[in-house]
Structure 1
Amino acid sequence: MSDPSSPPRRGLGRAVDLGFRGLEALLVAILGVMIVLVFGNVVLRYGFDSGITVAEEVSRVLFVWLIFLGSVVVMRQKGHLGVDMFLAPLPKVGRWLCRIVTDVLSLGCCVVLAVGAWDQALLNAENLLPVSELPTGWVYASALVAGVGLSLLILADLVDLIRSGPHGEVIEPNVAEGVS
């Protein structure tokens, strides 16, 4: 999410902001559907001795999508946990180099995640979940979407880091105060 105190962005930056707002709205909708399905199923089970047979399975699939899509939103907000115990004592050039190394390693992990998820999605495209009969490839597709989204965000961060150079502004990872 962009800083509310900054001037409005134009062009591609504005489109990205709108895309992430849409993604956040989708996450809220997914969570809402999950709540309705699970709560409705509980009420029906204990109140009326019946239930929605697909509720548990669909909720599980939606939960997986919620987690993977949420990780992309949190990455953009720089909200993932970071440890600065080793980074803090380094000079600015050392912090810059460490950030580049960690971004390259993170990018590699996200590419491996995306490639593996792609393979699994294709492999399981014909397999159906037992109750809802949704293709199990859809579950793996969530990891593919997250892997691609995270890779793009890390790549943009890496480009900004390299452009700023070792003496430019190095954005530190978000770390809770007093934690070491």
Structure 2
Amino acid sequence: LQQKTSGIVTSEVELEGWTAQLHLDEWAQSVRVDQPTADASARGFDYYENNVRKGGFGRFRGSGTDQMYIGWGEGPWDENTNLTVGPNKFTYKNKPVAMRDKDGRVTLTLTADATNVNPDYPALAIRRGNTVTLRMEINKIGEGTTLTTLPVDMRPTDQQVFTSISNDGTTSLAVSIGMDGTVTTFTQNKPVRIIATYVVD
């Protein structure tokens, strides 16, 4: 069946044989797929072996969900077995893929309880992929324990506690980096250089 003008096919179209193909030349438009807006649905291209779906790619949409997928198995739209890309989402097997748009460096603002003791070594947080390096050279001059608070994208996945030696070599200072971004120490009036690298989401 060949038709030179537009029309509607309401049943299955099957291409058979080694030479069968669907060919869109350079003047043809894109393949259009409409999806329902009231119900969750997956639409795309599926790959079969012996009538068993082995993988596919397409778009999944539902209430509050709109994302593209490429996956394998009988449910390629399943986030546990696919690569998913959405407006604010990029996951592989339901685990976040490093988003490079979070990379960068931030000059940290110290609290009134801390002061920078080396202008050539300012308080910084530097992110590359899923790791952050925190560096500062400070003196805790007040009674409060918080030195600074890290931005959301610079905070560790778990609390980090470690020891730094004061600049004069006489005191060990316990330093904590909390999941809420607070950087704290208890020792007062002992200048110290702090550097730490940790994992972030």
TM-score range, shorter chain: under 0.3
Structure with greater strand percent = 2
Q: Comparing both chains, which one has the higher relative contact order based on Cα–Cα distances under 8 Å and sequence gaps of 6 or more?
A: 1
TM-score where L is the length of structure 1: 0.21
Structure with greater helix percent = 1
Between Structure 1 and Structure 2, whose CA radius of gyration is higher? 2
TM-score where L is the length of structure 2: 0.20
